[in-house]
Amino acid sequence: MKQVQIFSDGACKGNPGPGGWGVVLRYNGVEKHLYGYEPDTTNNRMELIAAIEGLDALAEKCTVDITTDSQYVRNGITTWLVNWKRKNWKTADNKPVKNIDLWQRLEVSVARHEVRWHWVRGHTGHDGNEQADLLANKAIAERRSNRS
């Protein structure tokens, strides 16, 4: 099975506000960049979409190491999801889970691969994370420049 590294990040100008997501995929010395834009979103949604888009870009089952600076994404998929589902998509304080549509998509995307999740502190010079952050912000900047 192919061993792939994914670095994902999301950005938002205002929360909510215009947002972007960025992904760096690395396999066998080759790097691919993906990014996208949403006009009215939140940072957490962009973080989730980045992880989903990275996984969905893989054409076959892979062993994947995903690095994110989002505790929300990493803890959500590795710890909280099982309890949310057991409680019919309710949080520990019995409120509806936010971004349920994206959590359900991420769960499907993760199931296609063997995934290990890694967290890094954002904006600390981690190469993959910094590149993903630049891509997420590039998506916002490109959209803004196209509108002016």
* Active-site residue identified among 20, 22, 53, 69: 69
Neighbour-count burial for 57-95, b at 16+ CB within 10 Å, e otherwise: ebeeebebbbbbbbebbbebbeeebeebeeeeeeeeeee
> What are 30-74's pLDDT values in tens digits?
999 999 999 999 999 999 999 999 999 999 999 999 999 999 999
* Active-site residue identified among 38, 53, 130, 133: 133
Residues 142 and 40: their CA atoms lie apart, in Å, by: 15
> Is 56 an active-site residue?
no
- Work out the mean pLDDT of the chain and round it to a whole number: 96
Tell which CATH classification among 3.30.420.10, 1.10.3980.10, 3.10.180.10, 3.30.70.20 matches the domain 2-147.
3.30.420.10
pTM of the model: 0.96
> Is 9 an active-site residue?
yes
Look at residue 148 and tell me whether its pLDDT is greater than 70.
Answer: no
Q: How far is CA 18 from CA 1, 37, 70, in A?
A: 37, 8, 18
- Considering the chain, what percentage of its residues have pLDDT values greater than 70? 99
Apex CA 2: angle with CA 46 and CA 104, to 5°?
35
> Is 93 an active-site residue?
no
Residues 72 and 111: their CA atoms lie apart, in Å, by: 19
* Active-site residue identified among 101, 114, 123, 127: 123
* Active-site residue identified among 9, 38, 53, 130: 9
Helix or strand (DSSP H, E) at 2: strand 2-12
* Active-site residue identified among 20, 22, 38, 47: 47
Tokens found for residue 28: 């066998």
Residues 98 and 55: their CA atoms lie apart, in Å, by: 21
> Is 69 an active-site residue?
yes
> Is 33 an active-site residue?
no
Q: Which of 56, 59, 73, 54 is nearest to 118 (CA)?
A: 73
- Considering the chain, what percentage of its residues have pLDDT values greater than 90? 95
